[in-house]
């Protein structure tokens, strides 16, 4: 594996194939890159209003649904006022 190990116990941003963006703490993963996230929040982007964060709790995401997992720089993330961010949601994956 190009390694998800460095992300364990870190707060990450997970982008799904349907375009959803979820932040949470990576609790574990396996060979198929199935991932367990705890304390998750979905970040809903729109052009009409700021980013909405919806708490979702403990999540098990199937590996084949994952597009990207990024380590969140917590300081940089806290410095962003999400309510001021306007953006289109990410598009879903199109093969």
Partner 1 sequence: MLPLSLLNAAQNKPMLVELKNGETFNGHLVNCDNFMNITLREVYQTSAEGDRFWKLKECYIRGSTIKYLRVPDTLLDAVKEEQNRAREAGRSARGSHVSGTGARGRGAPPRGTPVVQSREVYI
Partner 2 sequence: MLIFSVFKTLTDQTVSVELKNDLSITGTLKSVDQFLNIRLDNIKVQDEARHPHMMAVKNCFIRGSVVRYVQLPAEHVDTQLLEDATRRETAVQKR
Give the range of 44-52, 59-67, 69-77, 83-91 binding partner 1 by CB under 8 A: 59-67
In the window 30-69, what residues touch partner 2 (CB under 8 A)?
33, 43, 45, 63-64, 66-69
For residues 82, 76, 69, 25, the Cα torsion angle rounded to the nearest 10 degrees is -80
CB of 32 to partner 1, least distance (A): 9
In the window 73-92, what residues touch partner 1 (CB under 8 A)?
none
Question: Element (H or E) spanning 76, and its range?
Answer: helix 74-79
């Amino acid at each position: 594996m190009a390694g998800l190990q460095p992300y364990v116990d870190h707060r990450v941003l997970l982008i799904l194939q349907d375009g959803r963006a979820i932040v949470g703490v990576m609790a574990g993963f396996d060979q198929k890159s199935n991932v367990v996230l705890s304390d998750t929040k979905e970040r809903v982007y729109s052009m009409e209003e700021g980013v909405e964060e919806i708490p979702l709790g403990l999540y098990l995401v199937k590996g084949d649904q994952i597009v990207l997992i990024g380590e969140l720089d917590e300081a940089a993330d806290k410095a962003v006022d999400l309510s001021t961010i306007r953006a289109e949601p990410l598009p879903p994956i199109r093969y």
